[in-house]
Amino acid sequence: MAAKWIISLILSGSLFFSPVLAQSKGQKASFDGQAAFDTVQALAADTMLGRKSGELGGRMAAEYIVSKLKEWGLEPAGVNGSFYQDLKIEYFEPEKGAALEILAWGKKREFVYGEDWRQQTYSGSGHLAADIVFAGYGISAPQKGYDDYSGLDVKGKLVLFSTDSPRPLEDKLKDEAQFQSRVRAAQEHGACGVLTFRSETPPSGFFGGFRGNLKKEAYQPDFVIISLENRVVDFIFKHLKTELRYLFQQIETTTKPQSFDTGVRSFINLDITYDENRPTRNVLAKISGSDKNLKNEIIMLGAHFDHLGIDMTGDVYNGADDNASGTAVVMEVARVMKLNRAKPKRTTVFALWAAEEDGLLGSKYYTENPIYPLDKTLTYINLDMEGHGSGRVNFRGVYYGPEIWDILKARLPKDLLDNVNSGRGGPGGSDHTYFLSSGVPAFFVATDGFHFRTNRVGDVIGLIQPEILKKAGDFVGAAVEVLATEPVIPVLSRRRENYYWKYQTIVNHEVPALDKVIEAHKDVQDPDVDFQLAAVVEKEGATGDVLRIEALKNLLAGLEKIRESKGLSAYSGAVPSMMGGRRMFGGQPAKTTVLVGLRGVATFRDDPRWADVFSKQGAAFVWLDRPAALLGDQGLNDEGKKIVAAIGKANLLMVVSGLDPAQNKLVLESANKPLFLVVSSQPSADILELVKKTKSSIGLILGKDEDPAAYFRKLDEAKKAVGAEILAIVAESCLWGKPGKEQMVGLIGEMLKAKYESEDLANLFSGAFMSVLERARATDTARASMFMPF
Ligand SMILES: [Zn+2]
């Protein structure tokens, strides 16, 4: 109490000194890097216990922040006139003292938590000694003729299995091979837990370690779910009269399980605290707008204040850079605005989010339960990691909020702008994510350059530089001031739909001639169209070798021009930056990737070997529109067979359009490779069956003037029948133009109304097409199956 009294005395005393004096002389106080540093120091102290949401440390950090905001005179902006917005999060945490020992043939070995083994999320607790039973892949599908549990007694035992899948059975066991299903199988067979490992070393960069992605239904209080490093599995097998690789080889070749009781015992001690509804809270403060018309509009500045808590060995994760730094910058901007008696026209909200480290839960909750209407929230600026780096400031999100960036560019002083790296931005990585997907133009500010020890124990106050905090603070403080006072800030219509339009990878299936594509788009900047199909130019009237040589020259010249252009890039096999059908750009401006192909078979009809030449030189597909001449009554005629075989052999994707249902059926029945079948109406069940069987994808044409709502009903029917993974939207309109875009934005509106998952949108817009392209272009079946969505 005494200390508090002295502090308040000092504080009231300070009113007579410099800051307010400066104010009275008309000088504005500016962002104080040292003051922000002091805040970081308080938040990153060991006594804050790593600020984990759902724990004491998280609570103390929130209380500290609120006490400061109150002290500085900020208005509460939380629920019911408070500074808080309460929410509940799922809390899952292993307790100290986790241990795992293996007793094999009289030898006991202890393994290190975090290095040799760890639990999966939704593991229960266990204090047990149990036998280990090897069960191959842990898959139980007796109805489909494969059961790793057949003849096995696992009651009260630990089931050891690989999380990979038996390759010959992959397609058949799609559901049963889900990790969730394998865990359930062990539970249903009465096991007390599972020990999992990876039998195959993943291709580098393809997967990280194994993460189960279980749903909470997997949780049973006394059922442990543990991942082992291979050295632990090696120890279990060390003295057994068999070898793992042999067992998996046997399963592959015979498709028969190879399960057995190992006779090896395991001792496990694992205490899990799992709480489905752990309370935590966001902190919100504001400065109310002074303009009677604009005060209902919101400018929001935010940062997460939570971090990772304390680990099993007692080390505190102080999270000074991540993200005491961003929190401190937001708070300091607020403090200085109050100090300067700022009277912004719009209401300025300062948000400090909880549970970012648990999956952006605090900001997600806010966007689902907004205190201020999101359609009146003109922008959200997010700060995460502002304490290290080169001194420049990264400002990501200009592709998604160009209207905001234009204002900042016009109004901010040159010296501030000169220090900013603006970037495309997009969702992911921090709390701007759910604002973007709610349609709010949202930006991500982080200081540029190297950040030390992110998410590691050494992220401490000693590495934080006050002058770098100030760089971030000067920029966002000025940006907030501009945005809170600018007379008019446009609010675009259909913001949410437009966000998805921009975020989705868009394929323009229109196939203009390659030289037209280059001419029209060579200088595009950050285009909405991500992939553009283009046709090799064929000389009119030419035939045979003259036609081929001219076409080949045009292809090579076109690809060269693409390489030299600013806005285009050429498709070259797999697209490494695809994630679930969406293209990842990071901060880089996007280029449109041009996919060149052949329209028709004129260039190789009389000499099918030429299909291979075009493919090797960079062509990716052959589009056959109404190829009726290749069809007989029973399927492909002799010439058709030859041509289709040549296209397949050349690893070109065959696109077929314009045929009637009977003809489509004939083509699919004689397809020897996956193809892209373009249709204008909902295909019949037998065609869909054939599409699946041939691992093809289907494109449903969106007509030039078709009403988006009417089209959506067709698309939804087809999606129900065949799944979004192999269904693509093929717009007839050019998507570079306004009408095409409007139509698509309308369609997105229908999809969002129907609550389509983001993953579905990704597949429908590009994933189904890109994946069939990969499947058709794969040179061997093993690689092809990597691209199968099943
Ligand atoms: Zn962070």
DSSP strand pairing (347-353 vs 582-583): unpaired
Measure 58 CA to ligand 1 centroid, in angstroms: 14
| Confidence at residue 212, expressed as pLDDT on a 0 to 100 scale | 72
pLDDT tens readout for residues 351-381: 999 999 999 999 999 999 999 999 999 999 9
Measure 365 CA to ligand 1 centroid, in angstroms: 17
Measure 596 CA to ligand 1 centroid, in angstroms: 41
Measure 326 CA to ligand 1 centroid, in angstroms: 8
Q: What confidence category does residue 584 fall into, taking pLDDT thresholds of 50, 70 and 90?
A: low
Is 786's pLDDT higher than 80? no
Measure 474 CA to ligand 1 centroid, in angstroms: 20
Measure 492 CA to ligand 1 centroid, in angstroms: 30
Q: Which amino acid is at 588?
A: Q
pLDDT tens readout for residues 47-71: 999 999 999 999 999 999 999 999 9
Asked whether the beta carbons of 784 and 695 are under 8 A apart, the reply is: yes
Which of 33-47, 317-331, 583-597, 759-773 bottoms out in mean pLDDT, i.e. has the lowest? 583-597
Measure 213 CA to ligand 1 centroid, in angstroms: 21
Distance CA 330, CA 447 (A): 14
Q: What are phi and psi of 298, to 5 degrees?
A: -115, 130
State the average pLDDT over residues 665-688. 92
Q: What confidence category does residue 2 fall into, taking pLDDT thresholds of 50, 70 and 90?
A: very low
Distance CA 69, CA 331 (A): 7
Measure 742 CA to ligand 1 centroid, in angstroms: 36
Tokens at residue 705, please?
A: 């003037």
Measure 112 CA to ligand 1 centroid, in angstroms: 28
Measure 426 CA to ligand 1 centroid, in angstroms: 16
pLDDT over 70 for what percent of the chain?
92
Measure 758 CA to ligand 1 centroid, in angstroms: 23
Is 583's pLDDT higher than 80? no
Measure 433 CA to ligand 1 centroid, in angstroms: 13
Task: Output b/e per residue, 396-426; b: 16+ Cβ within 10 A.
Answer: bbbbbbeebbebbeeebeeebbebbebbbbb
Measure 690 CA to ligand 1 centroid, in angstroms: 48
Measure 52 CA to ligand 1 centroid, in angstroms: 12
Measure 357 CA to ligand 1 centroid, in angstroms: 7
Is 33's pLDDT higher than 50? yes
Is 16's pLDDT higher than 50? no
Asked whether the beta carbons of 459 and 321 are under 8 A apart, the reply is: yes
Helix and strand numbers (H, E) in the chain are 25, 30
Distance CA 622, CA 655 (A): 6
pTM: 0.87
Measure 446 CA to ligand 1 centroid, in angstroms: 10
State the average pLDDT over residues 400-409. 97
Measure 501 CA to ligand 1 centroid, in angstroms: 27
Asked whether the beta carbons of 507 and 766 are under 8 A apart, the reply is: yes
Of the candidates 318, 335, 320, which has an alpha carbon nearest to the alpha carbon of residue 385? 320
Mind giving me the DSSP string for 563-611?
Answer: HH-SSEEE--SS-TTEETTEEP-TTSPP-EEEEEEEESSTTTTT-THHH
pLDDT tens readout for residues 618-670: 999 999 999 988 998 888 999 999 999 999 999 999 999 999 999 999 999 98
Per the model's pLDDT, the better-predicted residue between 101 and 572 turns out to be 101
Distance CA 400, CA 396 (A): 9
| Confidence at residue 18, expressed as pLDDT on a 0 to 100 scale | 42
Q: Quick one: CA torsion of 769, 772, 774, 776, rounded to 10 degrees?
A: -140
Measure 183 CA to ligand 1 centroid, in angstroms: 32
Measure 133 CA to ligand 1 centroid, in angstroms: 41
Measure 431 CA to ligand 1 centroid, in angstroms: 9
Q: What confidence category does residue 576 fall into, taking pLDDT thresholds of 50, 70 and 90?
A: very low
pLDDT over 90 for what percent of the chain?
80
Measure 321 CA to ligand 1 centroid, in angstroms: 8
Distance CA 678, CA 623 (A): 10
Measure 458 CA to ligand 1 centroid, in angstroms: 15
pLDDT tens readout for residues 531-545: 999 999 998 888 899
Measure 543 CA to ligand 1 centroid, in angstroms: 62
Measure 307 CA to ligand 1 centroid, in angstroms: 8
| Confidence at residue 590, expressed as pLDDT on a 0 to 100 scale | 81
Tokens at residue 516, please?
A: 């037209």
Measure 117 CA to ligand 1 centroid, in angstroms: 26
Measure 284 CA to ligand 1 centroid, in angstroms: 18
Measure 738 CA to ligand 1 centroid, in angstroms: 38
State the average pLDDT over residues 243-260. 92
Per the model's pLDDT, the better-predicted residue between 206 and 385 turns out to be 385
Measure 384 CA to ligand 1 centroid, in angstroms: 5
Strands (DSSP E) found in 50-157:
75-76, 84-94, 99-104, 107-111, 117-119, 126-134, 140-141, 146-147
Measure 429 CA to ligand 1 centroid, in angstroms: 8
Measure 324 CA to ligand 1 centroid, in angstroms: 9
Measure 325 CA to ligand 1 centroid, in angstroms: 9
Measure 385 CA to ligand 1 centroid, in angstroms: 6
Measure 298 CA to ligand 1 centroid, in angstroms: 24
Measure 60 CA to ligand 1 centroid, in angstroms: 18
Mean pLDDT estimate for the chain:
90
Measure 303 CA to ligand 1 centroid, in angstroms: 8
Distance CA 258, CA 240 (A): 14
Measure 207 CA to ligand 1 centroid, in angstroms: 23
Is 15's pLDDT higher than 50? no
Measure 585 CA to ligand 1 centroid, in angstroms: 20
Tokens at residue 418, please?
A: 């000169």
Q: What confidence category does residue 210 fall into, taking pLDDT thresholds of 50, 70 and 90?
A: low
| Confidence at residue 170, expressed as pLDDT on a 0 to 100 scale | 80
Place of tokens 């719009």: 346
Q: What confidence category does residue 83 fall into, taking pLDDT thresholds of 50, 70 and 90?
A: very high
Measure 554 CA to ligand 1 centroid, in angstroms: 50
Q: Which helix (H) or strand (E) segment is 545 a member of?
A: helix 544-564
Neighbours of 168 (CB within 10 A): 14
Q: Which ranges of 189-315 would DSSP assign to H, the alpha helix? A: 230-237, 244-254
Distance CA 473, CA 329 (A): 6
Of the candidates 698, 743, 695, which has an alpha carbon nearest to the alpha carbon of residue 717? 698
Tokens at residue 53, please?
A: 């949401």
Measure 226 CA to ligand 1 centroid, in angstroms: 27
